[in-house]
Amino acid sequence: MLQQRSRWVVFVQTLTIRTMNLQLSAHKLKARATILLTISFLTALLTSLICSTASAEKKGEPQVKLRSTCGNFADDSMVKKYNFYDKFDNMTGDFANDYELKIISGESVVIDHATGLMWHQSGSNQCLNWEDSKKWVSDLDIKGYAGYKDWRLPTMEEAASLLESKQMNGDLFIDPIFDKKQIWIWTGDSYVSGGAWLVHYGCGCVFWRSIGSRYVRPVRSLN
- Flag whether pLDDT at 197 surpasses 70: yes
> What is the tens place of the pLDDT at every residue in 130-172?
999 999 999 999 999 999 999 999 999 999 999 999 999 999 9
Pair 101, 121: CB distance under 8 Å: yes
Q: What is the pTM of this model?
A: 0.74
Of 120, 148, 116, 105, residue with least CA distance to 215? 120
CA distances from 52 to 23, 43, 55, 102 (A): 43, 14, 5, 19
User: Residue 148: what pLDDT?
Assistant: 98
Cα torsion 82, 80, 96, 218: sign: positive
The residue type at 153: L
Average pLDDT of the residues in 36-49: 52
Cα torsion 51, 57, 62, 65: sign: negative
